[in-house]
Amino acid sequence: MMVKISTLEDAIKSFGFHLEMERNLSPQTCRAYLSDLRDFSGFMEGQHLDGISREKKDLEDFDQLHLRIYLANLYKRRLQKASIARKLAAMNTFFRYLIREGIIGVNPLAGVSAPRKDLLMPRHLSVDEVFDLLGDRFADDVKGMRARAILEIFYSTGIRLSELTALNREDVDFEQALIRVCGKGRKERIVPVGIPALKALKDYLEKRGSLKEDGGPDDRKGPLITGRNNERINPRTVERIVDKYMRMSGNQKKISPHALRHSFATHLLDAGADLRSIQEMLGHESLSTTQRYTSVSVGRLMEIYDKSHPKARGGSSQA
């Protein structure tokens, strides 16, 4: 017999199970959804709102007024527009799930508008800055070679931080120069990888003692990049490596590993790669996400304009 879900807390637990087991979303995505919903639940727990029992929080009692009170609280906390929009998107998905399951009849978020997000250009490095970052300053030891391999792979493939840390040795095909990546929603894709990145990776594995005599990894199931105790490297460690070598390159920009992903996409676009191919390599579900890089590449458009337009440099033309 199906248990009736009436409280917000029970509904969030049910939604979490749905995300993990039915939609097969990654653990990071599930945590993000549930974190936003628990922020809402925590706010409601501390409120004395008309029609809602502080102890019970019946779902059927929520209406648009309560959601607007929560939205006003988000603004009061000075959250960024993108964060507010993300929380409302999570809640909208949550309420649509409850409607589909017959738990509630109306979406209380209907008619509540999310803030218009500011258009932020993806942060990226120039080609010269990337070459400075990948210069000859890596120590000839396991940590130094690991750092080079990490930075080379990021720039060569454009994969996400979570995707890099999840790589196993069996995911790299050295002969075909390809890697298999498990992306968002656990969707797999094949991404080409450049020769410098493969060489850096081989040097690292060899230094770590993780290559056979024939040059292949000794344990095809093990993690590709390791940290302490030969366990899978922690994402925070990777972030510290990127930060350290940015400072060593003399660049004072504060960037995340994601900036190397943006650099990868921007430089491909600048060199003439089409958006569909870049979308496939980045693992974007929607082309509109990839199209952000067209804004970043305005420099390339200006260069084409300067070379092609007869009046671009102030010259005169005959009528």
Q: Where are the domains of the chain?
A: 8-100, 127-303
Tell me the fold of 127-303. hpI Integrase; Chain A (1.10.443)
Instruction: Give pLDDT tens digits for 202-235.
Output: 999 999 886 655 555 555 678 999 998 889 999 9
Say what the pTM is.
0.62
146 is catalytic: no
Catalytic residue, from 81, 184, 207, 292: name it.
184
Tokens read off for 201: 């990776």
Most confident of 66-75, 167-176, 304-313: 167-176
Domains 8-100 and 127-303 belong to one CATH topology: no
Beta-carbon contacts of 142 under 8 Å, excluding residues fewer than 6 positions away, are: 204, 207, 208
124 is catalytic: no
| Catalytic-residue membership of 184 | yes
Q: Is pLDDT at 201 greater than 50 in this prediction?
A: yes
Question: Which of these is catalytic: 146, 261, 262, 267?
Answer: 261
Q: Right CATH number for 8-100 from 1.20.120, 1.10.150, 2.20.200, 1.10.10? A: 1.10.150
Integer Cα distance of 213 and 217 in angstroms: 9
Would residue 160 show up in a list of annotated catalytic residues for this protein? yes
* Residues 37, 15 contacting (CB under 8 angstroms): yes
Q: State the number of CA atoms in the 13 A half-sphere of 98 facing the CB.
A: 27
pLDDT tens readout for residues 4-51: 566 888 899 999 999 988 888 878 888 999 999 999 988 887 765 544
